[in-house]
Structure 1
């Protein structure tokens, strides 16, 4: 069984579960070729080497309950929702060229071409139709395997995509990989009428079965699900993985509130504040340096900073302010 290609249609719409399943399968089936398909409820998937906070609109993401999860591959941040089909190929590393994206995007191109959609691979790792991108692809190597995964924008909510990934570029100074926001489009505009994401998924599975005679459909069993959920709890839904592993960055933000103008500069390493400097024209009864010192060593996380502020009289440092006004500085 381990030498036959396994085709897996994930039963979950949880981004934490589906991204974790990619790592789980590397170790569960170290020799097998695997074709994994999944659809995630609204979520942002950030590249391994990215600064998560610099890629997402944190306020909007929190308001909309959009999950944020870091994947194991490089590249840029992408938005997933129920109108977005994701595919993932796992194969032995030594039998494939790591920089070749065409082999594993070709089945997608074939299926779409057969439906009269003029899709093609352009550049290194993007699939385009009529000059607009509908699929970005990334890959990584681990445990002797190579994993290439990609998105297919079928009928995604484009405005949510834009709003969720809209970040103030002046807040962050870092060397992390920045996402390239190409012109994107949904495939539904080009596909035959009444085509659903389920139909597209079935066509893709049929294409893989046609070209891999020994392939078989595999369903996650209870042991698989429990193991993946354990990995989710220990890694993929944790702050440490999704935010804390962000590269070193400098963060700055200014607000104008009734108490005055306040500007904060943070030096953040692996998600923790290493230096803090606060400027402004506010009036304070306690030295602002004392508050700066309290911030050092804390997570650059709104939840953690809010907990900290619950125990501090902020009016002693800034005058007549409320907690939300000062918390806004850290977003």
Structure 2
């Protein structure tokens, strides 16, 4: 049995998830423990819909990162008050209960009695302090989880909330759970565990579970160490890309509407992979588009031009829609319209441009 312990010295979620993937792909014969934590980040499961799980505008406003992992499961908020642990085992030697025992043994060293329960959770006094997810291949299995030491729970509750707009999804919605910080549960007289102490206790519990009488050496992974591993850099670039984070979202629909002095408008978006899809909604050009529009405006040229600008493949983001509407204004400015009609068309485009991008963000 070959045991290994790794600890990340960086807080970048894309790099840390890339290290997991490196261990999973390159070290499948090791039984390893990887310890890490991230700067403020939301991590969603491989098949989740980012638009359904997250208050995206608030996330961007607070400069919280978004990451999509390779494993399944639900969305989690992480900051430096959270410790992540990853067990990587050869597939034939994988034992979920053994891994859970390591975490429970670690918690017991701080005077806490925990149990593995239900949907892959670890509970203390009925409160969830850790959630677990999995990734499998014929060669190896990952079991990884979070440990809520002293996470900003207020941020967690405002960032992780399903939208209230007309968003329909075939993705997996996170199960709302009652969570608590470990720091609030430790017995009186016991110092609340921090990241370094938890890492040391997990390392010790790992060795004890596998009957190691000597401490398994821990390999610290700093930026210089990681730079020497090209596979990690490649994976980190993919994990940080828009196409991976948003483009892997399942099909969803979104509808917004508003009324202006000149009339009402409705926009119905069909999206796949984070982009406006090709659906049987015929635009003015006869092309298929994942956008259906309805309006009682007396200037049909406005709606026709917007439909052409928001073509299939346009990212379903406020900035992409804002850029497309900017193109509409420039095209109408150059169009052969009479003075009054042109002025009215430009006014309507300006009104829609001020409203629509924000409406796509205003989920909560």
2:360 aligns with 330
| Inter-partner Cα distance in structure 1 for 2:50 and 2:355 | 23
| 80-89 or 115-124, larger mean C-alpha shift | 115-124
Name the counterpart of 1:159.
154
Structure 1 residue runs of 4+, over 4 Å off?
255-261, 280-283
In 1, the alpha carbon distance for the partners of 2:181 and 2:3 equals: 30
Q: Give how far 1:243 is off.
A: 0.5
CA contact (8 A) 2:68 2:245 kept: yes
Residue by residue over 1:199-240, the C-alpha shift from the partner in whole angstroms, topping out at 9 and shown as x without a partner, is: 12211111112333273312337464342233212x011011
Out of 220, 236, 240, the position equivalent to 1:237 is 240
* Structure 1 residue aligned with 2:126: 131
Instruction: After superposition, give the CA deviation of every residue in 1:177-212 in whole Å (9 maximum; x if it has no partner).
Output: 100111110000122235323212211111112333
Cα distance in 1 between the residues matched to 2:271 and 2:114:
42
Cα gap change, 1:148/1:302 in structure 2, threshold over 3 Å: closer, same or farther? same
Structure 2 vs 1, CA of residues 251 and 105 (structure 1 numbering), >3 Å: closer, same or farther? Answer: same
Residue 321 (structure 1) aligns with: 351
SS at match of 1:180: coil
Deviation for aligned residue 1:62: 0.5
Gaps of 5+ in 1: none
Q: Which has the larger radius of gyration?
A: 2
8 Å CA contact retained: 1:5, 1:216? no
Alignment RMSD, CA only?
Answer: 2.3
Contact 2:54 2:163 in 1 (8 A): no
SS in 2 for 1:182: coil
Which region of structure 1 is more displaced relative to structure 2, 269-278 or 238-247? 269-278
Q: 1:21 to 1:257 in 2, by over 3 A?
A: farther
Match in the other structure for 1:34: 32
2:322 alignment counterpart:
306
Residue 266, structure 1, aligned to residue 244, structure 2:
no
Q: Distance in 1 between matches of 2:132 and 2:14?
A: 19
Report how many aligned residue pairs link the two structures. 325
Query: Which of 298, 302, 308 is 1:293 aligned to?
Result: 308
Quote the Cα distance in structure 1 between the aligned partners of 2:90 and 2:76. 26
Question: Are the structure 2 counterparts of residues 293 and 75 from structure 1 closer, same or farther at C-alpha, using a change threshold of 3 Å?
Answer: same
Q: Show the counterpart of 1:254.
A: 257
1:23 matched residue in structure 2: 21
SS in 2 for 1:293: helix
Query: Structure 1 pair 261/103, CA: closer, same or farther in 2 (3 Å)?
Result: farther
In structure 2, the CA distance between the partners of 1:259 and 1:165, relative to structure 1 (3 Å rule), is farther
